């Protein structure tokens, strides 16, 4: 399995520090969901989370690192959901597996809007593609290149559709399935 730990924030190891780290993420996520982006500053987050700015800087060197941490949290949640659903999957058909995968991702994005925009950061897309590649590779008999390209199509289609309106329509999901499956099976 891949290990994409190249991020700009520092994940604490001690329990007390992890709680403070989570408090910062929770506060930043609240601001991101409910206010304009310009309110997402280290100063505002420190004030609302009850932390001093120097303490916050121990974990997050800048605003982008905070967004990256939120992105990683939601990406990890998405990947956990996908893996959990694939544990009981009995399908051998690549077509059915890809359809299910797209449905799981689409439902996650719809249920977690507007924070889902953060799933489409370069870091998150890379992590998603790596993890899903290993998952699909274990379920299908397609060559590696076809799986990788199909995942690129999947992520690109969902990103394009989601960014158009912070939501996904059934038609956009169907078109994503069509594009992925057309490439994968031809």
Pick one of 3.90.1310.10, 3.30.1550.10, 1.10.10.60, 2.60.120.10 as the CATH number of 15-61.
Answer: 1.10.10.60
State the average pLDDT for the chain: 86
Same fold, 15-61 and 70-185: no
CB-based contact 43:33 (threshold 8 Å):
no
As a whole number of angstroms, the distance between CA 73 and CA 86 comes to 20
Distances (CA, A) of 177 to 58, 127, 171, 183, 184: 43, 21, 10, 10, 10
What's residue 113's pLDDT?
82
Lookup result for tokens 């489409």 = 120
| pLDDT tens per residue across span 61-82 | 988 899 899 999 999 999 999 9
| pLDDT tens per residue across span 106-124 | 999 999 887 888 888 888 9
| pLDDT tens per residue across span 143-182 | 788 888 889 999 999 999 888 877 889 999 999 999 998 8
Q: Would you kindly state where each structural domain of the chain is located, as residue ranges?
A: 15-61, 70-185
Write the CATH number of the domain with boundaries 70-185: 1.10.357.10
Entry pTM? 0.85
CB-based contact 139:86 (threshold 8 Å):
yes
Distances (CA, A) of 145 to 68, 96, 161: 28, 19, 24
CB-based contact 177:99 (threshold 8 Å):
yes
- Percent of the chain predicted with pLDDT > 70: 94
């Amino acid at each position: 399995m891949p290990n994409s730990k190249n991020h700009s924030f520092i994940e604490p190891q001690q329990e007390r520090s992890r709680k403070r780290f989570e408090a910062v993420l929770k506060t930043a996520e609240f601001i991101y969901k409910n206010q304009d982006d310009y309110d997402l500053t280290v100063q505002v987050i420190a004030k609302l989370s009850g932390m001093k700015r120097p303490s916050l800087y121990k974990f997050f060197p800048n605003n982008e690192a905070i967004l990256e941490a939120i992105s990683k949290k939601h990406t990890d949640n998405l990947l956990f959901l996908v893996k959990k659903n694939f544990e009981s999957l009995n399908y051998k058909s690549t077509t059915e597996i890809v359809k299910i995968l797209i449905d799981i991702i689409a439902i996650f994005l719809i249920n977690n809007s507007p924070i889902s925009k953060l799933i489409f950061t370069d870091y998150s897309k890379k992590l998603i593609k790596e993890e899903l590649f290993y998952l699909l590779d274990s379920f299908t008999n397609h060559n590696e290149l076809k799986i990788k390209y199909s995942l690129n199509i999947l992520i690109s289609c969902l990103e394009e559709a989601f960014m158009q309106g912070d939501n996904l329509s059934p038609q956009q999901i169907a078109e994503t399935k069509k594009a992925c499956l057309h490439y994968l099976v031809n």
